[in-house]
């Protein structure tokens, strides 16, 4: 069966992902997924930080099925109850006053960049420059690719959108040097995910916050990966006590149903009718799923679990680091965890784990990225760390 799927994929699907892992999943349950050959895998990737409630979560599945039986989509020509309610609950539980829904992280970031531009347009000011960080990741549309500080993704698409300036992370002097009269926005991830789970320093973020406030620069946090409980708080900015003016969400917001969101404080809510729009964004299906996810996080212990299990997971990985010097660093917050190795073993080790039935992510040859469902328990954490212990012993 897998061979047939691979052949069809090779014949018809655009190959942007290279050689995929030789597996196709047919169903999932909680922390596990089952492949076409019946083999069960423990999922420590959650569809790249998406399946926050795991697989086949009873309430999320029921919500989606019930909503699909009523209405999947109506369009934004009409009022949508779950859209209004999801906007309300996100604003009530964050520093934001208003929300707008999109379909992906890139689209949410694109919208946030437009919102910052519109804020200055309304004021009759021209401040088109945007400062972002080296090794950041903000998406694959032309503007978000231009924001992304990684040349390897940008190279084939020149000319990019102008006026993006990339500075090294956690270097406040470099940041200060990059600020000009024309700087309108700063876009950054509180923890850089795609480049290997690299947290920004609290003091660095505090200084950026102060500079942005003093110089009327819009501070945008990309919480596409870090948001929705991933870092042990609903949003990662809470872990550093620095509030953005605008922030974006996607990935886990609807537990796997595609959605993105732009959230902002009232002062920065610069769009007026006609400025921005979307066909699918915030439709009844996606926002009903989003409401279910937020409810599980806030009222059914999932956020608390992410916090507790995140601490336990990092503790167990740190114990492995003490035992094996080949582990250089264990970093991250909540259940967004990076494990850096002193030697280029990440890919080979992840392959061994895959063969043993564990799905983990890698960044380059030296980093593991672990972003499991937030419903993870001690059992799965012990299974993975025990297996890692066993594999590291044989190196």
Ligand X SMILES: Cc1ncc(COP(=O)(O)O)c(C=O)c1O
Under the rule (CB under 6 A), what is the footprint of ligand X?
A: 104-106, 109, 137-139, 189, 193-194, 222, 224-225, 250
C-beta of 174: minimal distance to ligand X in Å?
21
Closer residue to ligand X, CB minimum distance, 110 or 296:
110
Position of minimal CB gap to ligand X: 105
Q: In whole angstroms, what is the distance from residue 234 CA to residue 94 CA?
A: 8
C-beta of 37: minimal distance to ligand X in Å?
29
Q: In whole angstroms, what is the distance from residue 162 CA to residue 72 CA?
A: 38
Closer residue to ligand X, CB minimum distance, 135 or 385:
135
Closer residue to ligand X, CB minimum distance, 32 or 144:
144
C-beta of 101: minimal distance to ligand X in Å?
13
C-beta of 157: minimal distance to ligand X in Å?
15
C-beta of 262: minimal distance to ligand X in Å?
12
Closer residue to ligand X, CB minimum distance, 117 or 138:
138
Closer residue to ligand X, CB minimum distance, 30 or 260:
260
Q: In whole angstroms, what is the distance from residue 213 CA to residue 207 CA?
A: 10
Closer residue to ligand X, CB minimum distance, 189 or 245:
189
In contact, 101 and 86? CB cutoff 8 Å: yes
C-beta of 109: minimal distance to ligand X in Å?
6
C-beta of 189: minimal distance to ligand X in Å?
5
Q: 157-177 b/e with 16+ CB inside 10 Å = b?
A: eeeebeebbbbebeebeebee
Closer residue to ligand X, CB minimum distance, 188 or 218:
188
What is the Cβ-side half-sphere exposure of residue 382, based on CA atoms within 13 angstroms?
Answer: 3
C-beta of 81: minimal distance to ligand X in Å?
25
First to last CA, the chain: 34
C-beta of 192: minimal distance to ligand X in Å?
8
User: Could you give phi then psi for residue 338, rounded to 5 degrees?
Assistant: -115, 135
User: Could you give phi then psi for residue 5, rounded to 5 degrees?
Assistant: -65, -40
Q: In whole angstroms, what is the distance from residue 96 CA to residue 45 CA?
A: 29
Closer residue to ligand X, CB minimum distance, 189 or 340:
189
Contacting residues for 47 by C-beta, under 8 A, at least 6 apart? 256
Closer residue to ligand X, CB minimum distance, 54 or 149:
149
């Amino acid at each position: 069966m897998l061979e047939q799927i691979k052949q069809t994929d090779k014949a018809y699907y655009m190959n942007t992902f290279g050689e995929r892992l030789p597996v196709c999943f047919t169903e999932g349950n909680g922390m596990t997924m089952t492949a076409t050959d019946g083999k069960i895998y423990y999922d420590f990737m959650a569809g790249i930080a998406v399946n926050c409630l795991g697989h086949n979560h009873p309430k999320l599945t029921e919500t989606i099925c019930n909503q699909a039986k009523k209405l999947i989509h109506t369009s934004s020509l009409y009022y949508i109850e779950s859209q209004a309610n999801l906007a309300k609950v996100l604003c009530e539980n964050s520093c934001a006053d208003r929300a707008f829904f999109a379909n992906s992280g890139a689209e949410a970031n694109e919208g946030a960049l437009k919102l910052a531009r519109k804020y200055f347009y309304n004021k009759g000011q021209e401040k088109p420059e945007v400062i972002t960080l080296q090794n950041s990741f903000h998406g694959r549309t032309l503007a978000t690719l231009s924001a992304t500080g990684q040349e390897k993704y940008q190279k084939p698409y020149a000319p990019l959108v102008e006026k993006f300036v990339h500075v090294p992370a956690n270097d406040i002097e470099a940041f200060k040097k990059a600020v000009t009269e024309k700087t309108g926005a700063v876009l950054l991830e509180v923890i850089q995910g795609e480049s290997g789970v690299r947290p920004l320093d609290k003091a660095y973020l505090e200084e950026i916050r102060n500079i942005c406030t003093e110089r009327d620069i819009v501070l945008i946090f990309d919480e596409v990966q870090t948001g929705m409980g991933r870092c042990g708080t609903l949003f990662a900015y809470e872990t550093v006590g620095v509030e953005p003016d605008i922030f974006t969400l996607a990935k886990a917001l609807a537990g796997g149903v595609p959605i993105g969101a732009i959230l902002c404080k009232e002062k920065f809510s610069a769009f007026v009718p006609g400025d921005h729009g979307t066909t699918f964004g915030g439709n009844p299906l996606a926002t009903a799923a989003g409401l279910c996810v937020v409810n599980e996080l806030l009222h059914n212990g999932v956020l608390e679990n992410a916090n507790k299990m995140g601490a336990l997971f990092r503790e167990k990985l740190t114990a492995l680091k003490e035992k094996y010097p080949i582990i250089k660093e264990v970093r991250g917050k909540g259940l967004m965890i990076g494990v850096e190795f002193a030697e280029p073993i990440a890919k080979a080790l992840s392959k061994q784990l895959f063969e043993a039935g564990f799905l983990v992510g890698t960044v380059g040859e030296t980093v593991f990225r672990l972003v499991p469902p937030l419903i993870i328990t001690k059992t799965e954490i012990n299974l993975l760390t025990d297996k890692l212990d066993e594999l590291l012993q044989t190196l």
